[in-house]
């Protein structure tokens, strides 16, 4: 994440430099929000600059909450968030806010066990592990899901994010959907009151602790688990099959999730056979009525490109591209932006 | 401090040169007064902003905020007690480790080190303060914590395990790990301030002690350390100030669990860490205001601790930094 931040900074400096040297001042579109989206945005802004040299983007990855606030304060042209805004929050804005899903990602369950066996887990067991009710690796419930795997007599050490994170939102959203106990005791949010375990700062903190502590279990976005070559569990989905997280299985989840017209949806535990159940979308937030016509026009142009052509770049970054049917629906919503 | 005006000879009428002189003195006095007061204003402004940003939480929780252990963003119940506890305990651990190390290093550097060793050692110690906090934190996760978990902590548990402080499961990340990383961070400042203070102990003091037949240890203890103790205490307070507010490095190794545990092996949490962790993603107003209030509490704790330290300083005898002019 830090290197990508550095990259963004360097890109920003380049943009500023280019702006100085060019005779015609390019239009600058400002955005802020989710850190999860930053790698996708950096790639998109770079590719889009080649198509439209007169538009420049400036994105500050200050976190989803920050993105929502900046949008409400109208200090940015668009916000980005890993969690949809509540009705209450949206009512504070001066106009109607549109939620445009642009990328989706999976959350992998990473762990550290001697011999790195491939594990299979289901939602109820996972929730009870994170509630502290299943406390040993050789618990009968884990063993029943993993016949033939030799499970050690070892304490389970839960590791979770300590910083507010969209990844935590997706994960707790999933646990709430599969476990009534989790839903009533903990609930879902970007930060929650964890019943047990240690908090690691950032994906690197969680992955670092899971890597070091034998018996640890944690969660991290798929790209992070892949980059660190950490073993992750197959998770039982609503259709009853065990699925490994991948851009394809997350795309499958998106394709079968129930998506309302305002796109404020949760895609955890969708019914698809091949769908990975712990997945979530990330949204670009914009006002339907753009105050500055030129900004609105350029922004809409970019959004149309991002939800179609831009999606082809997503998979390289371990994001799940939006399926065709979702792309068409998002395009329609982008079409309603007025400027 | 005597009034500046009274120290300047009264100017007789017509003595142009002297009036000018007096004007310059006056201007300088007011300028420095303004500068000094602007520091007060700055702290006041920070306090005001923090209080202003936390009105919702102040209203909803009142004093309960300080004694509640609940921190639940989902049901919007907030309390600061585990964070206050974590901040104070981790800083205390840091002082316990850093002060003897720093003072001993300072004594060695000023009293005993051969000349060729002084400069390089000083540079090395000061280099420590140039390591960015986040780098230290990453080093903490990947190098220090595994070492602590495998070597130091099991040893502590087997030798001092009869104390509740050193019982319970060992995860590596812990209150103690947080205190140790803080100690590493405050050693340079305590050492360099202590070194300056020890250096300013008059040579006559030492010579007098030697003349009475004192050994080197006695000279250091009586003539140097005892003479400088107020200043050394001041150096410690400077280090404590840094420790209370340190964020990134601590967050990465302390385990981030809002809990009051007896064992130092258990994870903890600090005020600065929770603000850094949760501020960017806080979406609801009350949540944000609760985080602001944590900032206010941290400011309050820092001021309180410093005030207590000043009181303690008054009870210490001997000349302090002031007396060494």
With an 8 Å Cβ cutoff, are A204 and B173 in contact? no
Å between A306 CA and nearest CA of chain B: 25
With an 8 Å Cβ cutoff, are A201 and B256 in contact? yes
- What contacts A45, CB < 8 A, 6 or more positions away? A11, A57, A59
Å between B50 CA and nearest CA of chain A: 18
Chain A residues in contact with B256 (beta carbon < 8 A)? 162, 198-201
B75 in contact with chain A, both atoms CB, cutoff 8 A: yes
Dihedral angle over CA of B261, B263, B269, B271, nearest 10: 80
**Helix or strand or coil: residue A80?**
strand
pLDDT for the residue A339? 83
B168 in contact with chain A, both atoms CB, cutoff 8 A: no
pLDDT for the residue B1? 43
Which of A68, A200, A213 is opposite residue B283, by nearest beta carbon?
Answer: A68
pLDDT band for position A316 (cuts 50, 70, 90): confident
Question: Locate tokens 């993105």: which residue?
Answer: A67
With an 8 Å Cβ cutoff, are B73 and A189 in contact? yes
| Cα–Cα distance for residue pair B311/B309, rounded to 1 Å | 5
Residue in chain A lying closest to B251 (CA): A201
The answer to whether residues B46 and B29 touch, using CB atoms and an 8 Å cutoff, is no
Q: What is the pLDDT of residues B203-258, one digit of tens each?
A: 888 888 889 988 888 898 888 888 898 899 999 999 999 999 899 999 999 999 99
With an 8 Å Cβ cutoff, are A209 and B141 in contact? yes
pLDDT for the residue A39? 86
Which of A164, A194, A212 is opposite residue B278, by nearest beta carbon?
Answer: A164
With an 8 Å Cβ cutoff, are B273 and A162 in contact? yes
H-assigned helices in chain B = 4-7, 16-53, 55-61, 64-67, 81-107, 115-128, 133-139, 145-147, 153-160, 175-199, 203-211, 216-218, 226-245, 248-254, 271-278, 285-315
pTM, 2 dp: 0.84
pLDDT for the residue A155? 93
Interface test with A, best of B280, B282, B285, B292 (most A CBs within 10 A): B280
Q: What is the pLDDT of residues A186-236, one digit of tens each?
A: 999 989 999 999 999 888 889 989 999 999 999 998 888 888 889 999 999
Q: Which residues of A17-52 are buried (b: 16+ CB within 10 A; e: fewer)?
A: eeeeeeeeebbebebbbbbbbbbbbbbbbeebbeee
A198 in contact with chain B, both atoms CB, cutoff 8 A: yes
Chain A residues in contact with B172 (beta carbon < 8 A)? 209, 212-213
pLDDT for the residue A12? 57
Residue with the larger pLDDT of the pair A10 and B26: B26
B139 in contact with chain A, both atoms CB, cutoff 8 A: no
- What contacts A152, CB < 8 A, 6 or more positions away? A113, A114, A137, A138, A215
Dihedral angle over CA of A212, A213, A217, A220, nearest 10: -20
Kindly tell me if the per-residue pLDDT of A182 is higher than 60: yes
B263 in contact with chain A, both atoms CB, cutoff 8 A: no
pLDDT for the residue A3? 54
B261 in contact with chain A, both atoms CB, cutoff 8 A: no
Chain B residues in contact with A66 (beta carbon < 8 A)? 280-281
State the count of interchain CB pairs (< 8 A) between A and B: 105
Which of A65, A205, A213 is opposite residue B171, by nearest beta carbon?
Answer: A213
A:39-98 residues touching chain B, CB 8 A cutoff:
62-66, 68-69, 83, 85-86, 89
Rounded mean pLDDT for each run of 10 residues along chain B, 325 residues in total: 48 56 87 94 94 93 92 92 96 96 93 90 88 92 93 94 91 94 94 92 89 89 88 92 92 92 94 91 88 95 91 69 41
ipTM above 0.95, yes or no: no
pLDDT for the residue B24? 86
- Give the angle subtended at the CA of A305 by the CAs of A303 and A309, to the nearest 5°: 135
Which of B74, B146, B251 is opposite residue A187, by nearest beta carbon?
Answer: B74
pLDDT for the residue B173? 93
pLDDT for the residue B4? 46
Nearest to A110 by CA among A193, A208, A249, A240: A208
| Cα–Cα distance for residue pair B308/B107, rounded to 1 Å | 27
pLDDT for the residue B322? 44
pLDDT for the residue A181? 96
Question: Locate tokens 């402080």: which residue?
Answer: B165
The DSSP letter of residue B282 is -
Kindly tell me if the per-residue pLDDT of A281 is higher than 60: yes
Q: Percentage of residues in chain A with pLDDT exceeding 90?
A: 61
pLDDT for the residue A11? 58
Q: What is the pLDDT of residues A51-81, one digit of tens each?
A: 988 889 999 988 888 899 899 999 999 999 9
A214 in contact with chain B, both atoms CB, cutoff 8 A: no
- Strands A97-111 and A279-287, sheet pairing: antiparallel
Question: Locate tokens 């955890």: which residue?
Answer: A268
Chain A residues in contact with B145 (beta carbon < 8 A)? 212
pLDDT for the residue B5? 47
Kindly tell me if the per-residue pLDDT of A166 is higher than 90: no
**Helix or strand or coil: residue A27?**
strand
Question: Locate tokens 């007098």: which residue?
Answer: B208
């Amino acid at each position: 994440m830090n290197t990508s931040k550095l990259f963004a900074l360097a890109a920003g400096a380049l943009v500023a430099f280019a702006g100085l040297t060019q005779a015609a001042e390019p239009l600058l579109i400002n955005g802020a929000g989710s850190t999860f989206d930053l790698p996708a945005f950096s790639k998109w802004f770079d590719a889009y600059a080649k198509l439209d040299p007169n538009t420049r983007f400036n994105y500050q990855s200050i976190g989803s909450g920050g993105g929502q606030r900046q949008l409400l304060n109208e200090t940015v042209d668009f916000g980005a968030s890993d969690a949809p805004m509540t009705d209450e929050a949206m009512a504070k804005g001066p106009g109607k806010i549109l939620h445009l899903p642009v990328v989706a990602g999976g959350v992998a369950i990473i762990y550290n066990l001697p011999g790195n066996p491939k594990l299979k887990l289901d939602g109820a067991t996972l929730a009870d592990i994170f509630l502290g009710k299943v406390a040993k690796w050789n618990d009968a419930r884990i063993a029943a899901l993993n016949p033939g795997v030799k499970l050690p007599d070892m304490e389970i050490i839960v590791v979770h994010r300590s910083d507010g994170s969209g990844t935590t939102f997706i994960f707790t959203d999933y646990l709430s959907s599969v476990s009534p106990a989790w839903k009533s005791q903990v609930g879902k949010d970007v930060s929650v009151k964890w019943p047990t375990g240690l908090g690691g700062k950032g994906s690197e903190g969680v992955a670092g602790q899971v890597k070091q502590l034998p018996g640890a279990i944690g969660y991290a976005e798929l790209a992070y688990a892949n980059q660190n070559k950490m073993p992750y569990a197959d998770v039982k989905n609503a259709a009853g099959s065990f699925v490994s997280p991948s851009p394809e299985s997350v795309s499958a989840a998106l394709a079968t999730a129930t998506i309302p017209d305002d796109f404020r949806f949760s895609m955890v535990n969708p019914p698809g056979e091949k769908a990975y159940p712990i997945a979530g979308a990330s949204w670009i937030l914009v006002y339907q009525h753009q105050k500055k016509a030129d900004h609105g026009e350029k922004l809409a142009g970019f959004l149309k490109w991002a939800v179609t052509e831009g999606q082809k770049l997503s998979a390289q970054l371990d994001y799940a591209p939006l399926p065709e049917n979702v792309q068409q629906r998002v395009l329609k919503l982008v079409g309603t932006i007025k400027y | 401090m005597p009034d500046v005006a009274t120290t300047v000879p009264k100017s007789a009428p017509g003595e142009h040169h002297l009036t000018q002189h007096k004007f310059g003195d006056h201007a300088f006095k007011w300028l420095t007064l303004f500068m000094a007061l602007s520091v007060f204003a700055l702290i006041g402004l920070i306090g005001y902003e923090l209080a202003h940003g936390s009105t919702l939480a102040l209203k909803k929780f009142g004093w309960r905020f300080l004694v509640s252990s609940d921190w639940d963003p989902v049901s919007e119940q907030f309390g600061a007690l585990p964070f206050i506890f974590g901040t104070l305990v981790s800083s205390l651990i840091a002082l316990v480790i850093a002060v003897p190390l720093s003072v001993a290093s300072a004594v060695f550097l000023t009293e005993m080190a051969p000349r060729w060793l002084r400069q390089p050692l000083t540079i090395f110690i000061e280099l420590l303060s140039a390591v960015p906090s986040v780098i230290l934190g990453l080093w903490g996760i990947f190098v220090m914590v595994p070492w602590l978990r495998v070597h130091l902590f099991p040893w502590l548990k087997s030798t001092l395990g009869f104390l509740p402080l050193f019982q319970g499961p060992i995860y590596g990340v812990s209150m103690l790990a947080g205190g140790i990383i803080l100690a590493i961070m405050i050693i340079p400042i305590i050492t360099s301030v202590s070194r300056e203070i020890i250096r300013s102990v008059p040579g006559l003091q030492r010579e007098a002690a030697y003349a009475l037949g004192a050994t080197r240890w006695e000279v250091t203890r009586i003539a140097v350390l005892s003479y400088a103790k107020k200043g050394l205490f001041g150096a410690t307070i400077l280090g404590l100030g840094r420790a209370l507010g340190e964020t990134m490095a601590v967050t990465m190794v302390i385990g981030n669990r809002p809990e009051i545990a007896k064992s130092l092996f258990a994870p903890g949490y600090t005020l600065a860490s929770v603000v850094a962790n949760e501020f960017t993603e806080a979406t609801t107003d009350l949540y944000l205001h609760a985080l602001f209030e944590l900032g206010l509490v941290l400011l309050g704790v820092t001021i309180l601790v410093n005030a207590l330290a000043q009181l303690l300083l008054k009870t210490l005898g001997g000349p302090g930094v002031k007396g060494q002019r």
